[in-house]
Amino acid sequence: MKPLSFQKFKEIYKEIEEKDKHKIFYYSLFDISSFIFIEKMSRLGRELSEIDRKINEEIPKLFLKRGIKRTDKLAFVRRNVYSDRLCRFLIAIELKKKGVECSISEEGDIEVNKSIVEIKRIVAGAQLSKYVEEIVKKYEGSNKNLVLLLIFPQIGEEDVERISKLTEIYYVIEKFLSFKIERVKVICQYITREELENYNLSNLIERIVKVIKELEKI
């Protein structure tokens, strides 16, 4: 099964009910490869396993026809959710709805005129140094503005306000990157399982639009 194309995604997305769009975005924020750093039998490990089960159950229902084999469903999730393709598509199409002309590059980057939107989905901090190294290697010397999204999906029954405040620690990355990349802005966004004000896709899009407009003026 081939990865989902942006054009095909747009066609399917038009038919999806509004109540399901936040759910899709929430589930698109998980990458199974990040789970290997977490003890499977720990409370966090069990919660992530349940999320993984839900992803494989819910996402194919919304994007695939009935009667698709289980192996094809798993392949669809692996190629589109775990790879962050679905997450990027969702953000790109919502930016377009806000009047921001953007495109998806061959590498999967969201490009807006003089800016690039890069996405990192953070479940645990174990890979943070690797993420930062990748960003520097990819964008050092670039003449593009970089908008780096660090997105933190809710896991279990976390205290929403407390965890949201804790994610602000990650803004230190912007300071570090500014020594390597000329124009960079970091957006830390916590996303809850159920759609809540300030912790949803709509709020994230508003923040991205604001930052892009600021950078494009420079």
Among 210, 205, 209, smallest CA distance to 189 is for 205
Model confidence pLDDT, tens digit, residues 69-88: 888 898 999 999 998 899 99
| pLDDT greater than 80 at residue 155 | yes
Dihedrals φ, ψ of 110, to 5°? -90, 115
**pTM for this prediction:** 0.92
Handedness of CA 163, 164, 165, 168 (dihedral sign): positive
Count other C-beta atoms under 10 Å from residue 133's C-beta: 10
| d(C-alpha 26, C-alpha 166), whole Å | 19
- Please report how the helices 85-97 and 18-27 are oriented relative to each other, as an axis angle in degrees rounded to 10: 140
Handedness of CA 10, 216, 113, 115 (dihedral sign): negative
* Mean pLDDT in residue range 88-98: 95
* Mean pLDDT in residue range 25-32: 91
* Mean pLDDT in residue range 151-160: 93
Residue type, 214: E
The angle subtended at Cα 135 by Cα 116 and Cα 125, nearest 5°, is 120
Sketch out the chain's domains with CATH numbers: 6-80 (no CATH), 101-217 (3.40.50)
Model confidence pLDDT, tens digit, residues 30-68: 987 666 666 666 777 788 889 999 999 999 998 988 778
Confidence class for position 26, pLDDT limits 50, 70, 90? very high
* Mean pLDDT in residue range 116-141: 88
* Mean pLDDT in residue range 161-181: 94
| d(C-alpha 29, C-alpha 24), whole Å | 9
